[in-house]
Structure 1
Amino acid sequence: MFMFLAAFQLQSSECLAFACSEKSIFILAGQSNMAGRGGVAKGTWDGCVPRECRPDPRILRLNANLVWEEAREPLHAGIDTSNPCGVGPGMSFANLVLERDPCLGVIGLVPCAFGGTNITRWKRGSELYNRLLTRAYAALQDGGKIRAILWYQGESDSTDETRAKMYKMRLIEFFLDIRRDLASPALPIVQVALASDVGPYFEVVREAQLRTELPNVVCVDAMGLEVKENDTLHLTTSAQVQLGKMLANAFLRIGI
C-alpha cells in the first residue's frame, strides 16, 4: 500500500525504513505541562512509561541536534532544560493518532516547549519563537507536512493581572504570527485550557483559552485531570496520558 520513501537516522545509529507517502509533523509547544513532568519528583523522573506512551518505529522526534530519532519518553529531554522532564502528552497523542489513522504512516514530533514561560516569551522575534521556527523548518527538510501545533501554556500568565487580561490578545497574535511564518494560514492548532489553579487570575486565562475563536483552533479542557499533590501545578503521568488522548481526538475531529 505504501511506497518505500526514506530512512531516518536513529540515536542508536541504526536506520529504519518507513513506507509512507509523507511524514506527518506535529509541533509541541508551551510550558512545562506540555514538556511533561509526569513521574518527576524531587528532580528525578521515575522512568515509568505507560503502555499508551510506548515507543513505535513509526513515531519519531526531532532531537536537540535537529536529527530525527525514534521517539520515547521523556520526549522533551534536551529541549526543555528548565527542569527534569518526564511523561508529557506527546507520545499518547501520537500512538492514538496512528491507531485511529494508520494512513498517516510516520509521525514526526517536534518538541519545543519550555517550562515557566509566559506568553510574552513566545512573541514573534523572541528566542523561543525563533527556536520553534528553526525546529519546524528543520523538520520539513526531508519532506513531510506540518499537521498541527499542540499548545499548552498559560500558568505563568495567571499569576499577573496585566498579563492575564492581555492573554487572549497575545495568544491570538501568536497563533496568527506562527501560521504566517509557517506559510500555513489554516494550520490546525489544538490548545489546552488550564488544569492548574496556580494564580489568582487563573479563570481569566482559562476564559481566554476557551473563547479563542479562530478557524481550525480548538481547545481541550484539562480541568479535572489529576494534578500532582506535591506541587499542585503539574499533571500526573496518568493525567498526561489522558490529555494526549484528548488532544488526539480533537485533532482527528478537525479532519484536515
Structure 2
Amino acid sequence: MSSLIWLMLLSCSTLVISTKNASDGNTRQGKSIFILAGQSNMAGRGGIHAGVWDGYIPPECQSSPKVLRLNSEHKWEEARPPLHRDIDYLKACGIGPGLAFANSVLQKNISIGDIGLVPCAIGGTQISEWRRGSPLYKQLLSRAHAALHDGGIIRAILWYQGESDTRSQEDAKLYKMRLAKFFTDIRSDMKLPELPVILVALASAEGPYIDEVRKAQLGLDLPNVKCVDAKGMEIGNDGLHLSTEGEVKVGKMMADAFTQFMA
C-alpha cells in the first residue's frame, strides 16, 4: 500500500480505542502492548553504517516467541530487528531500544504475559508533526486500535523524540507545551487518561538548543510520566544517533522505569 493511500485511509477513519479488554481476566490472558513512538533514535539507527544496517543483533535484542511486533499490515509476528523496517521505511533502520526493553521486562519479576510492540516512530519528525489530527497522530491511533483487535492491554507509550526540535529556538521554547499536549491528547483519544508514558531525555541533537529541550523533557510535570536520561550514551559516527550499545542501554533503562509503574 502506498503511503498516500495509507494516509487517505487514516484520514477517513474514526479512531476510538476501546478499553473493555482491560478487565482483570483479559489482562491475565492477553498480551501487554507497548507503543513505540518518536523519531529516529526510537526507530533505531544502531549499527547503521553508510546507510546500511550491519546486521549485528546483540544478545539483548534476540527474538523470542513471547515478544511480538505489529507489522505495517496490522498483523502480529515474532519481533525481530529492525523493528521499524516497514514503518520508518524511507531510511535504513537498525537496532533500537524496543527489543532490549521487551526482553528486559520479561526478565523481571512481574507477570504481564506476552509482549506486543507497536512501532510508530518516524525519523526526522518534530513534535509539531505529532499534534492531534496530524497524519502521524492518526497513524499511531490506528495502529493502537489494530493492536487491541484480538485482546490485550496497552501498558505504556515509549517516546524518544526531540532532536529535530533543537534546530530552532522557538521550537525548543515551545517543546514542553507541545509535548504535554500531545501526551494529554493521545491519552484522551485512547480513553486511557492514566496511561503510563516513558520518555527519553536527549543524548544528541540536530541543532544548538539541546539544553532547552532536555530541560523540558526532564521537567515535564504530568502524572504517570517517567523520564530516563540518555545523556552520556555512546553515539555513532554520525554524531546524532545512538550506537547499538547506546540503544540497548536506553531500552533497559526504559524497562526499569516501567517496572516502577508495576510496583
Number of residues of Structure 1 aligned to a counterpart in Structure 2: 236
Give the Cα separation in 1 of the matches to 2:205 and 2:187: 29
Name the amino acid aligned to 1:59.
Answer: V
Structure 2, unmatched stretches of 5+, are 1-27
Alpha carbons of structure 1 residues 102 and 58: separation in structure 2 relative to 1, 3 Å: farther
Letter in 1 for 2:143: R
Structure with more strand by fraction: 1
Q: Determine which of 86, 105, 109 is the counterpart of 1:78.
A: 86
List per-residue Cα deviations over 1:106-155 (Å, max 9, x = no partner): 10000000000000100000000000000000000100000000000000
Once the two structures are superposed, residues 40-87 of structure 1 have per-residue CA deviations (whole angstroms, 9 ceiling, x without a partner) of 111110000000000000000000000000001001110012310000
Cα pair 1:119 1:170 within 8 Å, conserved: yes
Q: Runs of at least 4 residues of structure 1 off by over 6 A?
A: none
Kindly tell me: are residues 102 and 218 of structure 1, through their superposed partners in 2, closer, same or farther at Cα, counting changes over 3 Å?
closer
In 1: Cα distance, 2:110 partner to 2:166 partner: 39
Alignment of 1:50-199 (within 5 A): 50-101=58-109, 103-199=111-207
Aligned partner (choices 33, 45, 67) of residue 25 of structure 1: 33
Matched, 1:242 2:253: no
Give me the TM-score of the superposition, normalised by structure 1.
0.91
Indicate the residue corresponding to 1:6 in structure 2: none
> Which letter does structure 2 place at the counterpart of 1:113?
A
Q: Which residue of structure 2 lines up, in the alignment, with residue 233 of structure 1? A: 240
Q: Residue 228 of structure 2: which of 220, 245, 250 is its match? A: 220
Matched, 1:254 2:261: yes
| Separation in structure 1 between the aligned mates of residue 85 and residue 220 of structure 2, nearest angstrom | 30
Q: TM-score, normalised by structure 2?
A: 0.88
Q: In percent, how many aligned pairs have the same letter?
A: 59
Code of the aligned partner of 2:243: T
Give 1:103 shift. Answer: 2.1
SS of the residue corresponding to residue 29 of structure 2 reads coil
Equivalent residue letter for 2:79: A
Bigger proportion of residues as helix: 2
Deviation for aligned residue 1:102: 5.5
What's the secondary structure of 2:111's corresponding residue?
helix
Residue 197 (structure 1) shift:
3.6
Offset from partner CA, 1:203-242 (integer Å, 9 cap, x none):
000000000011100100000000012x100000011111
- C-alpha deviation, 1:183, in angstroms: 0.5
How much has 1:200 moved relative to structure 2? 1.1
For residues 73 and 146 of structure 1, do their structure 2 counterparts lie closer, same or farther at Cα, with a shift above 3 Å needed?
same
Q: Partner of 1:103: helix, strand, or coil?
A: coil
Q: Contact 2:201–2:227 at 8 Å: present in 1 too?
A: yes
